[in-house]
Structure 1
């Protein structure tokens, strides 16, 4: 008697396919990120610490492993896997993106991997979706702000702008700041192509005054310091996590995707914990906002620091895999596994 082979076919989904699918799913990724945060809040995920591969002779470079699993209570959305993402800041000098990544999906029943996806775009889009989701909740569930500034002119910033537009946000003006003039100009031109109004290049000091300030840089330590830098009610999307000083964190309301994860690896919140010896500055998580467990006060600056959870990559990666396989755009690799039978 022959039993059906439980091993799923192995597919490779290249970047062009990932990009084509995600271009039509910008709003859906925000909903997916929100639902995944709620799944995590219910305890239906496994999301261990990220693992950093560092190089003593090249301290700016790192490769990060993010293993994770979603164990959905309904049973039909479960997946496990790992994102392997490299960050080499000097890549931009060669005109290529700082980050590159792959995402592997594993079958929760057999453990066998069944898909390899280009992961850098997935990572960028889920980061952007998390940022825009956080902005919406901190902004009183309102999709308008008079001024938006983006500090950092890379791939993440482009995706954040795209996601704001896809989510129907409006701004009176948008400011761009980057130490690299070419990067700043390129992002400003990209914003204009998206139809954003009054896109202009700003100094850092000017950028810090916007109603919503987005940090999306490769900074390794704080360079924005000083109490009173941000005003009460001002929204700071601390996406790159290491731009602002501990004293700014301490005097603000602070929201996270996962508190434990973010208070590590010398992020700005981690530096605040080390400097002040407590976590009193922690306000809560975006999932608590979604569930209505927390309400946003306006008497301090509002900072959202999402560390970036592997479960988000898995949720979006699984969605892309299913769409690509159904559409025939995923590349099947026959006989990928050398042994598929014990006998």
Structure 2
């Protein structure tokens, strides 16, 4: 009961990289548990800094019942200026708590967990929402960072085999790095300095740090847009599509593109449904419009993936016990 374990980043990344298919399954299951009311997922809390308006640290608390029976909180920092110094933009830890006693049981390095669950959610959406399938055509990735790299890996897991990847980034070196990574995996890829070329692809992935919309054009029927970074699209662009969200209340806040669409129209009629609605067969989309998937990012996904990584790390002897972590183990 009084055991507390730490799982370091190298072990977390190894378990995630070796078990991507299982991570996809965990994320899909977590969405369905959330839809069924088997979770508690409060609003995220944003710690912002007046002198650093582009930076923030976010707390995502959540409870996942079902087979997991764990609560927890992800504490994740996003400091975009790290990129210029060659450091990753995001860093994070995940604390897991036993639901019966409330005691924390583990701390895991969680930047990798966060990237994996984000990428897996995009892959689950692509598999469920792409009317024309995932083989052939072009996949465009706007933004060439860690999240983009992970999304490409998880798209591959669910059978995405485009003829080519088109990468666009205003920071050309980042875009070229993603291209080189994809090519090293035997996948055709090229960098394009033209945003419009990327926006013409069959599947368009947004994985940027944009704070406000810059894409004002409409997508064509049949295109799938994975709006992972949430703020790239003008509200008029959102209104011209089928819109699938991860959670309606969570996504329609903080001036995300769907939130701007709600502010513009004064209603939520443009929301087609949630990803879990699609997975459960309660909502279908056709190719009469483009499909935009906008995931705000749910803490229950971090709990699901973190619990899985902890189990795998324990089995591999990679979870480090911290003796005497709790200062008192009895009331008297």
Q: Which of 299, 311, 321 is matched with 1:332 structurally?
A: 321
Could you say which residue in structure 2 is the equivalent of 1:274? 263
Which SS does the other structure have where 1:264 is aligned? coil
Q: Which of 73, 76, 81 is matched with 1:82 structurally?
A: 73
CA offset at residue 141 of structure 1?
8.2
Aligned-partner Cα distance in 1 for 2:220–2:101: 52
Which SS does the other structure have where 2:140 is aligned? strand
CA offset at residue 265 of structure 1?
0.4
| 8 Å CA contact retained: 1:148, 1:174 | yes
Any stretches of 5+ residues in structure 1 without a counterpart? 1-6
TM-score, structure 1 normalization: 0.95
Aligned-partner Cα distance in 1 for 2:215–2:275: 24
Which SS does the other structure have where 1:207 is aligned? helix
TM-align CA RMSD: 1.1
| 8 Å CA contact retained: 1:143, 1:169 | yes
Aligned-partner Cα distance in 2 for 1:153–1:169: 18
TM-score, structure 2 normalization: 0.98
| 8 Å CA contact retained: 1:106, 1:115 | yes
CA deviations on 1:124-179 (whole Å, 9 max, x unpaired) are 00000000111111114833240100000000000011112233321111100000
Q: Which of 58, 62, 65 is matched with 1:71 structurally?
A: 65
| 8 Å CA contact retained: 1:165, 1:194 | no
Aligned-partner Cα distance in 2 for 1:108–1:151: 39
Could you say which residue in structure 2 is the equivalent of 1:216? 207
Which SS does the other structure have where 1:36 is aligned? helix
| 8 Å CA contact retained: 1:185, 1:201 | no
Stretch deviating more after TM superposition (198-207 or 270-279)? 198-207
Cα gap change, 1:329/1:155 in structure 2, threshold over 3 Å: closer, same or farther? same
Could you say which residue in structure 1 is the equivalent of 2:52? 58
**Mapped pair 1:96 → 2:76:** no
Mapping of 1:109-124 within 5 angstroms?
Answer: 109-124=100-115
Which SS does the other structure have where 1:17 is aligned? helix
| 8 Å CA contact retained: 2:208, 2:229 | yes
CA deviations on 1:91-120 (whole Å, 9 max, x unpaired) are 001101111100000000110101000000
Stretch deviating more after TM superposition (136-145 or 277-286)? 136-145
Aligned pair count reads 332
Aligned-partner Cα distance in 2 for 1:202–1:290: 36
Mapping of 1:128-167 within 5 angstroms?
Answer: 128-140=119-131, 142-167=133-158
CA offset at residue 295 of structure 1?
1.2
Q: Which of 117, 120, 131 is matched with 1:126 structurally?
A: 117
Could you say which residue in structure 2 is the equivalent of 1:3? none
CA offset at residue 9 of structure 1?
1.0
Could you say which residue in structure 2 is the equivalent of 1:23? 17
Any stretches of 5+ residues in structure 2 without a counterpart? none
CA offset at residue 202 of structure 1?
4.4
CA deviations on 1:209-250 (whole Å, 9 max, x unpaired) are 000000000000001114xx2101111000000001000111
Could you say which residue in structure 1 is the equivalent of 2:40? 46
Stretch deviating more after TM superposition (166-175 or 304-313)? 166-175
Which SS does the other structure have where 1:164 is aligned? helix
Aligned-partner Cα distance in 1 for 2:127–2:136: 10
Structure 1: 4+ residue segments shifted above 6 A: none
| 8 Å CA contact retained: 1:191, 1:199 | no
CA offset at residue 316 of structure 1?
0.6
Aligned-partner Cα distance in 2 for 1:167–1:276: 36
**Mapped pair 1:238 → 2:232:** no
CA offset at residue 200 of structure 1?
3.8
